[in-house]
Structure 1
Amino acid sequence: MAFKLQVNGVDHDVDVDDDTPLLWILRDILGLTGTKFGCGMALCGACTVHVDGVATRSCVTTVDSIGTSAISTIETMSDSSVGRKVQAAWHELEVPQCGYCQSGQIMSATALLTDNSNPSDTDIDDAMSGNICRCGTYPRIRAAIKMAAQTIRANAAEGK
């Protein structure tokens, strides 16, 4: 079946079965390999993308469920102000160890901070639950989210 998808602001025509997971379209057809395959069951978060700004597990999201929604992947997170601040905090605090889960972690953190620039620890836990880091960098992830949130709030107060 033919589907038109808007990925990272670009329209793409794909001819796939209607139950094809978005993950495989992104990686295998569109060549956007920043989104990772982890578990295939929406349990680990490595495949997280944004669908209309909402953190979504692409391994279980079928193409026929997307409709006209806008899809954003890790490849364009630096295009948004919040995404840049999250990535800068990740870099400054040296969050990644092996790095495999980090695109999913950044996608979830960016979705959180886009909606809530002053998250509590509970807000962070809720937003990041289901994003698994086998290396255990959770303390650095939390610190980076708090750092990015502080930068976002400071820039908002300065009118930036």
Structure 2
Amino acid sequence: MGNIAVGQELRLDNVLSMRTKIKQEDIQQALIQIGQYLERMNIQKQGPIVTATFGVEQISIGTIVDIEILVPTNKRFQPEKPYIFKDKFHLVNAVCARHTGNPALLENTYRDVLSFIASNDLQQITAGYSVNVNELDPSQSPEDLIIDVFIGINPSVL
């Protein structure tokens, strides 16, 4: 288990946001479409893409994920549906852990963070946010991937 840090924050500005329920295998296509939309609107991505999973359900056609995709950009804009614009995204008082390696094993990092939260009597108050620290080019292995995981916790001690 990697190092887990508390009291962390995640801040994004001029954010394109899309929350949707989508088949797991279609997430990559949604990311490509967002990239094409930004290019068409002459908007530059300004920092790492962040995803949050709010729920997962198994149905007859496969796994459906309730996901939000957040893309920090270089300017304010009026988005077209299904996108919305968020002036700021600011997660404070989060527990954070770094996942390095195959994204298929990201679940293990989340399990470690949730176990840390439980064993320290902390109270989770947000979904888990995955920040893609690096973008792999086709020549790189999935083992080179770095993802930071943030989960907001209640700052109150009751």
Tell me whether the two structures share a fold, i.e. TM-score over 0.5.
no
Normalised by the length of structure 1, the TM-score is: 0.27
More strand by share: 2
TM-score w.r.t. the length of structure 2 is 0.27
More helix by share: 1
